Structure formats: structure tokens, C-alpha cells
Amino acid sequence: MKKLLIYLKDYKKETVLAPLFKMLEASFELFVPLVVAAIIDEGIASQDRLFILQRCGILILLGLIGLICSVTAQYYAARAAVGFTGQLRRALFRHIQSLSYTELDTVGTSTLITRMTSDMNQVQNGLNLTLRLFLRSPFVVFGAMIMAFQIDVKCALIFLVTIPVLSVVVFGIMLISIPLYRKVQQRLDTVLGIARENLIGVRVLRAFCKEKEETERFRQKNQELTGLQKYVGRISALLNPLTYVIINLAIIILIRTGAAQVELGILSQGQVVALYNYMSQILVELIKLANLIISMTRAAACANRIQSVFEIRSSMTDTAKETPDREEGTPAVEFRHVNLRYADGGENALTDIDFTVMPGETVGIIGGTGSGKSSLVNLIPRFYDATGGSVCIYGHNVKEYPVASLRELVGVVPQKAALFHGTIRDNLRWGKKDAKDEEIMEAVRTAQAEEVVLGKEGGLDYEIEQGGRNLSGGQKQRLTIARALVGKPEILILDDSSSALDYATDAALRKSIGALSGRTTVFIVSQRASSILHADKILVLDDGKVVGAGTSEELLQSCEVYREIYETQFQKEAVNR
Amino acid sequence: MKEYGTQTGTLRKVMHYLKRYWFLMALSILFAGLTVATTLYIPILVGRAIDLIIGPGAVDFAGIVRILKEGCVIILATALLQWLMNMINNKITYQVVRDVRNEAFEKIQALPLRYLDQHPSGEVVSRIIADVDQFADGLLMGFTQFFTGVATILGTLVFMLTINVWITLLVVVLTPLSLFVAKFIATHTYDMFRLQSETRAEQTGLIDEMIGSQKVVQAFAMEERIQEQFDEIDRRLEKCSLKAIFYSSLTNPGTRFVNNVVYACVALAGALAAIGGVITVGGLSTFLSYANQYTKPFNDISSVVTELQNSLACAARIFELIEEPSQVPDAADAEELKDAAGQVELEHVYFSYVKEKPLIEDLNLSVKPGQRIAIVGPTGCGKTTLINLLMRFYDVDEGSIRMDGKDIRHLTRKSLRSAYGMVLQDTWLKSGTIRENILMGKPDATEEEMIRAAKEAHADSFIRRLPAGYDTVIQEDGGSLSQGQKQLLCISRVMLCLPPVLILDEATSSIDTRTEIRIQKAFQRMMEGRTSFVVAHRLSTIRESDVILVMKDGHIIEQGNHEELLRKNGFYAKLYNSQNL
């Protein structure tokens, strides 16, 4: 958490002034009982109406000064909290964007989103409250005690005992109940989980006739939750009665002691009233303090979670400044004995991959589920770094390219078609920042997406909703292909990106992409043999290894895995055999 | 007016739940009243004691001790009552919540799928969890708070009146000022808060999208531009947050100032009255402590009222769910389907999800035991609907479906569904171990049977490679398993219970073709003599079916085996050829 505090550096003034003014406000509050004591002892005793009027004027004045201090404090606290969180949020967003695929895989995007949103808000509230109350409450508590000492030492001793006893009770109950409340939350999550599971899996559960069992399970977990809630409830139900007893018993002792002191002439009646007022102030502030500590610990936990995101360092270095010169006659893409092992350990995802692709060639990559097809193509735009061997583009290791220019060189259509809120034009310009409409439409036609664009109201101006919700899977896929084509990348990777297209569209797409070749090096990853049949070179992957390379005819002769895939999809041959 | 009517309606239903706890409720209210009275009595006692401390030599010790003893008893009694009241409230609240949740959950199990398909699961979950919580907190806690608040106000008023009418009047007239201040600030910050939450929603949207698809952002090297977009929104958010937070934070200082003014006025009036001998110094001290507390119940009540309304709305949502009509229960004379042979007949079946949009019209189909039926057709043609009807997730609008010659509406749902084994494209796994998931259809299967089923489904080898093998715990909906692996688990599940009729709805769509062929061979072995319905996108997987139904717009447009349909050269032939370019 501490490391986050550097984002407060622009708000040093605010961070100091906010609690300071709060303290001022509190100290004016502490004068009130003294003024009231004076009214009783001097004003009423000597029947001095003018004196009473003046003192009441002072009371209002104290209130006014308190108001001004307090408003000032609230302003600075809000500024510091909001400003700090704003800076923190921008820095965290920047940091998350700098993480590489490896880190994104391990942390998970939903976690990151929570850090950016709800954790941030918690931190902002926590900081705001802390600046306002953290000094105020203890100041009132101890201030009241010090004032009591000013009035009478013997009576003040009662304060000296009461405050620790109250603190033990208040903080003790909080300390015991907070972890229990966390447990309650966990059990509530379980109950929520069962409810959600039963809604999402309703078909399967009903198909297996699990209604009764599930109801029983829910009842049991629900009962466990209720049991714990009642248990925690019993503990926190003690807080109010206990503090009430302590503070009021203290008042009783105070009055008894006060009476004796008055009898001796050490104290006046008004001073007893003042002491009584101080005692009443303490309880309110102690409870505020305890609540503050709860929100502070919560905010601190959130801050620590945010901090832990900052501590994740990108495993990818981007030190290259300039795009290296291209050497003539070198292969467009070359894999030299490449191995890849993901950060979460386990087996190699890719083992000893070695091949070359000349500019303009089309490469098909085929293999079963989990055979490493996507892993292989992900190395080309350097989404991951090879853990062994090297990946070269135009004769240079991909690490020698600045990441941004490498990714301009390589266009990728990922498996999952993701589009963003904005017009179709905005989305397609991701491939090239300043693309003209003609360029965009050319790409759209190649991607077989012309009917998608023209079919929408406004064409390129059609507003896509968040996550592309207002488009079908096939439409999204074609637009993501167009997006990659707009930048006219020299190397194009289609990672199983026609799965949602019907066979006729897929065929037309392959044809138009084929027409690009000559200029563009194309990688097509697919499970369908028909998609890669006409590639210049086909790589067959099995368990992370290349088990066959060549044209379709060659592979049918030499590669058993390929033959099996081929035959399961073109059964005529299988039947004839 | 109507709103009022529904609110009282909801309130009546709430009362229904509380009826069982009427005694505790009454006790809680009684204790609350007593607590308020005793709490308010303490300042009076203190005031009286102070009046006995006049000055040196003028202290009535005996009187003070008597008053303080009385005070001790009252304090202890108050604490005890308060504690009991808290306990009772807890008990009522948590048990009502439990009861409502149980009832809502049972409802889910009995609701027709039509309802569940139309309502997003997140919304239903939030009714059972968040709405119930809000309802309990707001309505039950709110109720006691409301009662305590009103009692405190009235009690204070009475106690103050017993001391002095005019000063009481002063307090009563001035105190509402702080409520006005609070209200004033609240109405004037409303727009700022709305702007803040709008801006925040905009930002969350961007975060959701960009971090959710961060890989795409990086693939297009868009980080800088997105950061600019983010910074712009963030600066705007910063500005409007500052405004909203600052202005709303004026409420406390504002009301506190008003209270201070009231306090000063009471001190002035009280002190002048004391000079005139109208009240005592003790009376003044009592007044001051009341003046300090008097605004609190007002603030409480005004926040409770909004919370009460809010929780009534929540309660209404819950009751709406609980009162939703259940699916038609099994007929009283419903038969158990035993050892189904798998003869399925559809006769003049009509069905639609929405009245205005007829989907299935006059569908006829007769399937002999052991036949393999394939269903093909474009998206939205009614393939999945047919499955919904077969398993009686939905009831037909007209016509009938018969299983072994009996109308399925005259069979118990349980026995009917047990006759089917189903693997859907949309794989769903329960959170729990892999073992629990496979054993779902047959909890008493032996270890060997389970492993055999997993092997048949080609799932055994990947399961063994998981950290804890068959005992690996998977999170809700599979977590780290790939779509293909999840499908293999669902297939294992069905392989284990060997139902008489099998339904495969795109069951192997995410599995690579080599494994798919092997699994299909296993299915074929397993389905020997059993009826099966197969929906598939890849036509290669259904060529060997006995009957292929080609569906379009809810009708069967072609019917026959592969060769016949090819010869017909219709829709099927076109589809088949396009897949085999």
C-alpha cells in the first residue's frame, strides 16, 4: 500500500490541511461545555442576563468557526481523495496496458477490471473518510479527557479509566465480528453460487431430475448461512448495550464524585455539567472511530490489491528503437528450433518448431484441439516470447523490432471476434489510424463483409454496441477480418477465424484472401481441412510438434495424422477406400 | 394511486411472512418502546441530581445517592432490553430471509423453462440474493428504527413538556431547520451525483471493453490511443466526483451548525428561565442534552422512509418471482415410464414461443426404436425447439408427442427425462469434482464403470493429466477446461447412464474431427438398439443416420436417408455440396 502513496505527492497541501482543519473544528467543539459551565456558574448564579447573552453569542460564533473549518476540511479532503484516485487510476490503466499476454493470462482480465473499478472506489472513499475523521475522533476523545483534567483531576481519573474500557469493548467486538462477517460473505457467495448454477444449468439438472437434491443442498447451505448470521448478530448485538452501560455508569460515578468535590468547594455546579457533557461526547466519537477503522482496513485491503497489480512486471522487453533494415531474399517468417512453455508451467506447448516461409506464401496450420496451432502463430507478432530458439521476420529476430512496428507489420484476426463500442469505421481504423473510406471498403469487400456494412443503417457510421452485441457471430468475424486487412499488413494471420461463417462464405473468403497473395504472406489456422487445402505449405501439428509439412498431396502420402483429419472430413474417399 | 395499492398489497404479503413471528414482533416493539422511555429518563435523573449539587455545603448526598441508585437500575434494565430487542430482531430478520430464499429457490425448480429462458439468470439471482437482503435490512430493521425514531421524538416531546413548555416549543420550531438544510443539499447535489454515476458508467464500460479485450488492443498497438481516451474520461470523472463529493459532504457540517445554533438558543432561553426561577439548572442540563439528540431521530426517520420504499420495491420483485405460476404439475394419474423402448411419435404438433410468431406447425414424425434421426437446417429453424418439446421442457400448443405409445403429458416428468440422455452444444458443468460431474446421472456407479465411460468419451487421458485426476475441483462452468474438454465430460456423463434415447445437440462441435469420429464410433456401439436424435452442423457426421430431417422455419421440408436426399437434389444436397467444396 505504501508505494501507492507517491500518487499523493501532488496533494501534499490538501492531505495536511484537511485533517488540520478538522482538528480545529473539533477543538472549537470542545470549548462548548466550558461556555455552558460559565453560563451556569456565573450567568445564572449572578443573574447576569447580558453575560448569558454574550456567552450564547460565543456559542453561535464557535459553531460558525467550526462550520468554516469543517467546510474547508471537507473541500481539501475531497480534492485529495479524488485527485489521488484519478492519478492512481490512470497510472494503473497504463500499467495494465503494458502487461504482456503472459501476465494477462495469469492474472485474468476480470480481476483487473475489479481492481480498476470497485477497488478504486473503495480506496477513494477510504482516503476521503480517513482525511476527515482519522485525526478528529481521537482528538475529541483525548481532548475531552484533557479538558476534564483541566477542570478537576479527581473527576478526570474517571475518564482515564472509562476511555480504555470503552475502547476495549468497541474495538474488541469489532475485531471479533469483522472476520466473522467475512465468513458470512463467503457463505452468502456459496448460496448465490448454487442459485446461479441452478439457473444456468437448468436444462441439464432437469434432464437428470436433480430438482429435489438441489433444493436440499440449497436449504442446507442457506441454513448454514442463517446460523452464522445469527451467531455474528449475537456478538454485535452486545455493542450498543455494553457501551451504554459503561458510559452511563461512568456518568453516575462522575456525578457522585462531582458532588463530593462541590461539597468541598473544589468544583462548581456548572463544572459538573461540563464534565457530564464531555463524557457524552466521547461515546459518539469512539463509535465513529471504530467505524472509520473498518472502512480503513477495507480500503487498505483494496489498496494492497491494487498495489499487487502494479508489482506485476511485464515479462516482455521492448527496447528496440528502430525497425531493422530488411534484407532481400530472406524468408518472411522463419522459426528456428522454437520451444514455448507457458508461465503456468506444465509441458512444452511447442517443441522444436523449425520452418521457413517466403514472402507471398500461404501457410495452412492444422491439428487437433490443443495441438498448439494458436500458440505457434501467437509467436509471430510476439504476443509471447519463445522460451527456446528464435522467431525471425525478414531475417531479424522479432525481439529486434519495436513491438508497435512489429504489430503493424503483422495483421492478426484472433479466434474470439472482439469489436468495440463505436462506429464500424472507428473499429476498422484500428488497423490503420488514418484509413480513408475507400481503403476501408476495399478491406471490407475482401473480408466478404460488404453485405454486413451495407445492410446496416448508416453503413460505416453504424454504431456498434459494447462488445459488438448488436452483431451476429458471423458478422463480427468478418468485420474483425476486415479490421486486420485495412492496414494492409505484410503478414496476415487468420487464427481459426472463419468458424462462424457458413461454408459458402468461407470459400469466398479464402478465394479473396488467396488473391491478396503475391504481396501478402498468409497464415491460416483451421480445423477444417477444406480451409487450408490449397495452401502452398501445410504444417500439421500434434501435441505441440510438427508431424508433417508440405502440400496437401504430399501430406496425404506421408503424414498419417493429416490423412486421418482429411478422411474424417471428406468421407467420400474414406468410403471408397 | 395504483402504486399505493400495490405497495399495500406487498405489505400484506410481507405481513404473511411475519405472522409466524407475531409474538416476537410484538415483544420487539414493546422492548423498543421501553428502551426509548428509559433512555430518555436518564438525562432527567442526571438533571435532578445536578439540582441537588448547588454549592459547597449545599449538597444533598442522600438524595443524590437515591437518584443514582435508581439510575443504575434503569441503565442496567435499558441495556438488557436493548440487547434482547437486538437479538429478537436478528432472529426475525435472518429467519424471514432464510424462509423467503428457500421458497424462491423451490420456485426456481418448479418454474417452466419458458420463464427461465426469458429472464436473464443474473436478474433472477439478484432477486434471490440482493433483493432479499435489501428487503430484510430495509423492511424489518427499518421498521424497528422507524418505530424507535417516532417513539423517541414523542417521548422527548413529552419529557420536555413536563419541564417547560416554552423552551420545548423553541426546540420543536428550530430543529426542523437542520432537516431543511439536509434536504436542500440533497436535492442540489442530485444532478452532480447523476453526472458522476453516468461518467463512471461510461468509464466502467471502457474499462470492461478494453481490459476484457486487452489482447486485441495490443495486437493493434492501440495502447496509447486507448490511454488517451481513458484519461479524457477520467479527468471528467475527477471533476464531477469532486463536485459531488464536496457538496454532499456539506450536509454534516451544515446540520451540525444548525444544531449548534439550536443548542445556543436553548442555552439562552434556558438560562434566562433559570434566572427567573422557571426551571432549575438540572432542568437546563436535561434540555441541552435533549436538544443535542433531538435531530437524530428525524434524520433516521427520513433515511428510513426512503429505505422502506426501496425495500418494498425489492419485496415486490421477490414476490413477483415467488408468485410466478409454476409449470403444470404431473397429472394425478401420470404413469411411470419403465424400460422405454424408444418409440417416439409426434402428431400434428404446433408450437411457438411467442403467440404472434408461429414456429412449429403441423409437425409429424414417427421414430421406431433404435433409429438414428439427424436434424439439419439453418439457425433458428426449430432444431433446438424440437428437443425442448421431446424432453418436455416446453409443452406443445397443439397435437401430441408420444413415447412408447403414451402421451408424454401422461407420464411423470422424472421418468420421461430419465429415459433421455442429452449432450448440448452449450456445455454446462456443475462446480465440484470431475467425478461428481460424471456421476451426475448415476450416482451409484462404480469406479470402473465411471472410468470406462470416460474412456469411451476419450476424456480419461486428459482427466488423468489434471492436477488431482478425477478429484480435480472445477469451478462454476468449467473454468480452465477448454470447450472441447467440457464437451468430452458431458459426453462421459451420458455414456455412464446409458439411457434408452439419446439427444446430441451439436455435441461434438468443439472437438477436433479426429476425436469426434472416435467418439461417434463409441456412441454407435453404445446406441446399438437405442433411439437417437442428432443435431449437427457438420454434415459429414450424420451421413449414416437412418432418417435425416431437413428443417426450415419450423417445418420439415425434406426427409429421408443421405442417398435419397442427395438424389432429390434439394436443400440438403445444396448444403452438403457447399460443405465439400
Q: List the beta strands (DSSP E) in A521-562.
A: 521-526, 537-542, 545-550
* Cβ atoms of B80 and B23 closer than 8 Å: no
SS (H, E, C) B308-326: HHHHHHHHHHHHHHHHCCC
Is B75–A244 a contact, with Cβ atoms under 8 angstroms apart?
yes
CB contact under 8 A, A222 and B102: yes
The vertex-B407 CA angle with B402 and B412, nearest 5°, equals 115
Provide the 10 A C-beta neighbour count for residue A153.
12
Nearest CB partner across the interface for B274, out of A44, A272, A561: A44
Contact B480/A105 with Cβ under 8 angstroms?
no
Of A74, A97, A99, the CB nearest to B253: A74
Decide: A1 and A300 in contact? Cβ < 8 Å.
Answer: yes
- Quick one: pLDDT at residue A344? 62
- Predicted pLDDT of residue B511: 72
pLDDT of residue A123: 92
Plot region of A382 (φ>0 → left; ψ -120 to 50 → alpha; else → beta) = left
C-alpha–C-alpha distance, residues B494 and A207, integer Å: 11
Cβ–Cβ of A466/B209 closer than 8 Å?
yes
- Distance from the Cα of A101 to chain B's closest Cα (Å) equals 7
What are the chain A neighbours of B330 within 8 Å (beta carbons)?
Answer: none
The sign one gets for the Cα dihedral A261, A262, A265, A266 is: positive
A381 CB within 8 Å of a chain B CB: yes
Give the domain ranges of chain A.
2-311, 333-576
Rounded to 5 degrees, φ, ψ at A363 are -115, 130
Rounded to whole angstroms, the Cα distance separating B285 from B227 reads: 61
pLDDT band at B3 (very low <50, low <70, confident <90, very high): very low
Q: Name A491's bridge partners.
A: A410, A521
Interaxial angle between packed helices A239-263 and A269-311, expressed in degrees from 0 to 180 and rounded to the nearest 10: 150
Instruction: Give A-chain residues touching B52 at CB under 8 angstroms.
Output: 259
- On chain A, the residues whose CB falls within 8 A of the CB of B234 are 86, 89-90, 93
- CA distance linking residue B466 with residue B489, whole number of Å: 13
Check residue B277 and give left, alpha or beta (phi > 0: left; psi -120 to 50: alpha): left
Domains of chain B and any CATH numbers? 1-163+297-327 (1.20.1560.10), 344-579 (3.40.50.300)
Is the Cβ pair B53, A77 closer than 8 Å?
Answer: no
Q: CA–CA distance from B220 to each of A406, A414, A449, A502, B291 (Å)?
A: 10, 11, 20, 27, 66
Architecture field, domain A2-311:
Up-down Bundle (1.20)
Residues 6+ apart with CB under 8 A from A229: A184, B90, B94
Contact A250, A158 (CB under 8 A): yes
- Per-residue model confidence as pLDDT tens for chain A (577 residues): 678 888 888 899 999 999 999 999 888 888 988 998 899 888 888 888 899 999 999 999 999 999 999 999 999 999 999 999 999 999 999 999 998 888 887 787 778 888 888 889 989 999 998 898 888 888 888 899 999 998 889 889 999 999 999 889 888 888 888 888 888 888 988 898 888 888 888 888 888 888 888 999 999 999 999 999 999 888 888 888 998 899 999 999 999 999 999 988 888 888 888 998 888 888 778 878 877 887 888 888 889 989 999 998 888 888 888 888 887 788 899 999 999 987 765 567 889 999 999 998 899 999 877 688 888 999 999 988 999 999 999 989 999 999 888 988 999 898 777 888 889 999 999 888 888 999 999 999 999 888 888 888 888 999 988 777 788 778 888 999 999 999 889 999 998 887 777 777 888 888 888 887 667 899 999 877 888 888 899 999 987 889 999 998 899 899 888 888 887 777 544 443 3
- DSSP 8-state code for residue B129: I
What is the domain class of A333-576 according to CATH?
alpha beta
| Angstrom distance (rounded) from CA A410 to CA A381 | 6
Q: b/e for B217-247, b at 16 or more Cβ within 10 A?
A: bbbbbbbeebbeebeebbeebbebbbbbbbb
Contacts of A244 in chain B (CB under 8 A): 39, 75, 78-79, 82
CB-CB neighbors (< 8 A) of B260 in chain A: 32, 59-60, 62-63, 66
Residues 6+ apart with CB under 8 A from A125: A81, A295, A299
**B257 vs A181: CA distance, rounded Å:** 36
CA contacts within 13 A on the Cβ side of B91: 14
Interface check for A252 against chain B (CB to CB < 8 A): the answer is yes
